[in-house]
Amino acid sequence: MALLFLLLPIVAVFLRVPLSDLIDALGSRAALDAIRVTAETNALALVLILGFGTPAAYWIASRRGTVRDVLVTLVELPLVLPPAVAGIGLLVAFGRAGLLGDEVEALGVDVAFTKVAVVLAVTFVASPFYVRQAISSFESVDPTLTDAARTLGAGPGRTFWRVGLPLAAGGLAAGWVLAFARGVGEFGATIVFAGNVRGQTQTLTLTIYEQLESNFDVALSIGVLLVVLSGGVLLSYKILSSWKGSSSTSSPAFARSSSASA
């Protein structure tokens, strides 16, 4: 009964839309604009997540005790925030009347209710999935290997690039997949912080919301696309999790890191 309950809505989505109608609906202007905006904003967000999240995770993984636990908690906090709260937080931080409003205005850049806001919203809600996974991956690297690199004359930067990063690559890739899936499905923070303007800030999930009343077939077709995409992401995550060297994706890795902190 539990499996039937979980599968029935997914099966219903596919049974409701014939293949020919699905192709036509996904070729509509609204769907194509949403696909473009989603692809552009998520690509930029993932660059930010990888570029800043990877060194941050490596640094946090090297901390111990209470400091490490506090830092991990801060990373995980956006995971439990209601999406609307995340959107309001971004608005009062980067909006014109926000904490950084004067600095942003001095740069001549509008953030709130623009495509930049979509990128920031996706980065905020998706980055914890990558950073938390990356922390676990770096913690699973045998410390004797990094210590050996340091004794052989490698500095912190070279140890990171030549030892830590390659050994944690499987877990990092799995974290990237999780962040991508969360970013594509983002809704609440985006609609509060970026609005819902077609061709500018309207992503796939926002298009579903808009098309529910005006064109249900388009909304349903985008739903099918996201189900297929989600299934592909889940399969990719499982493959990457079993990749040799990605022991950080298993629960023992979290247990080892906790015991090491203690």
Inform me whether the pLDDT recorded for 19 exceeds 80: no
| 126: Cβ contacts below 8 Å, ≥ 6 apart | 45, 46, 49, 179, 180, 182, 183, 186
Contact 233, 46 (CB under 8 A): no
Inform me whether the pLDDT recorded for 260 exceeds 60: no
User: Domain limits of the chain?
Assistant: 40-203+245-261
Distance CA 206, CA 210 (A): 6
The predicted structure's pLDDT at residue 206: 95
The predicted structure's pLDDT at residue 243: 64
Q: Angle at Cα 186 formed by Cα 22 and Cα 122, nearest 5°?
A: 125
Which has the closest alpha carbon to 207: 82, 38, 10?
Answer: 38
Could you tell me which residue, 262 or 193, shows the higher pLDDT? 193
pTM: 0.84
Banded model confidence at residue 261, pLDDT cuts 50, 70, 90: very low
Q: Read off the pLDDT of residues 20-55 as tens digits, 9 standing for 90 and up.
A: 778 888 888 999 999 999 999 999 999 999 999 999
Is 40-203+245-261 CATH 1.10.3720.10?
yes
What mean pLDDT comes out for the span 202-231? Answer: 91
Both tokens of residue 57? 């995770």
Inform me whether the pLDDT recorded for 257 exceeds 70: no
Q: Read off the pLDDT of residues 82-120 as tens digits, 9 standing for 90 and up.
A: 999 999 999 999 988 878 877 776 777 778 899 999 999
Tally Cβ neighbours within 10 Å of residue 122. 30
